[in-house]
Amino acid sequence: MPFKYFIYFCLPLFFQCKTGEPIIGVSKTYKNETSFKVDFTVAFGSCNKVEIGNRLWDDIINHHPDLWIWGGDNIYADTDNVNQLRQMYNDQNHIEGYSKLRSKTPIIGTWDDHDYGVNDGGAEFEGKKASQQEFLNFMGVPQNSSRRQQNGIYTTHEYKLREGIIKVIVLDTRYFRTPLTPDTETKKRTKPNPYGEGTLLGEAQWRWIKKELEMSKADFNIIVSSIQVLSNQHGFETWGNFPHEVDRLEKLIVDTKAAGVILLSGDRHIAEFSRTNVNGLSYPLIDFTSSGLTHAYKAFKGEQNPYRVGEVVFTENFGLLQFDLKHKRVVMKIIGDQGEILGKLQQVY
């Protein structure tokens, strides 16, 4: 059934991100759901081709997100040609539905390999510095921002509401990533590196995320990774190719006592929820994957994921997270064309 709801306007709820730009949000009560107050709505998605019909922007807009997060592969450029990158980003900005979303909704996000510049690319990509500048242009990052001088696009955003704080930690899983290990024994593309070998984030980014989690006063800490963190047996790109870094991230979340950590990922042209219990963590760690916005893995026949909750969605989709800060509750939804709810998971933190 299409997802329909009514919005009741309450007293405006003012919050502010780190850029200092004031944003106005409204509380929403949804019909055909167990009644709950939504203080903040995040929509996100990945794997978006400019040349394919962008059919989901109207559905995204209809859900009135307070924030849109790009999860990577925001365009499919696969080039070190700056002019081609710039033109493709410009074309995306002028797509009617996306342009409308940009006019009313803050936009943040990360990149993945195809907008980075090369399929499965990592630290070896020679065009990464120029590509970073074009990505930051696409995200509307000011020319005098410190992100223009740093290596990599990682950053953080904080949204302060009356009821609490939501922090978004955006990772860069491309700029520093060392080589993958090809799987020559099975039909899978890659296999995990020997434990301890290689890195996804690089030491500078690891030090940065440690500081961000240690200092965080947020009620929820959303970590955006372009590739899946938990699902690790499919043979494509995943944090599971660096198993020591999965352990390092989980230990970091526990040691910093960060509240309400939720992982967002893309890349796979499918959508699914993955969940695991981490020793020492008082809540389950969820990896919410949403992909793709314009094209999906419709020939999907199944794959192992020991952490999966629910069913895999392999049609075009975007992700939605609705935060009830008072009750520390999040309702996560996979949504398709015409607002159809394709998957749902609720978690109290």
When pLDDT is cut at 50, 70 and 90, the band that residue 24 belongs to is: very low
Residues 6+ apart with CB under 8 A from 303: 233, 234
Q: Is the pTM above the cut of 0.85?
A: yes
Question: Given CA atoms 103, 104, 110, 112 in this order, what sign does their dihedral have?
Answer: negative
What average pLDDT score do residues 251-276 get? 98
What digits encode the pLDDT tens for the residues 126-173? 999 999 999 999 999 999 999 999 999 999 999 999 999 999 999 999
What average pLDDT score do residues 113-117 get? 98
Residues 6+ apart with CB under 8 A from 195: 243, 244
pLDDT at 36: 80
When pLDDT is cut at 50, 70 and 90, the band that residue 55 belongs to is: very high
pLDDT at 9: 29
User: Is the separation of the CB atoms in 128 and 113 below 8 Å?
Assistant: no
Ordered DSSP codes for 69-115: EE-S-SS------HHHHHHHHHHHHTSHHHHHHHHHS-EEE---HHH
What digits encode the pLDDT tens for the residues 162-215? 999 999 999 999 999 999 999 999 999 999 999 999 999 999 999 999 999 999
pLDDT at 331: 98
Mean pLDDT, rounded, of the chain: 92
pLDDT at 34: 54
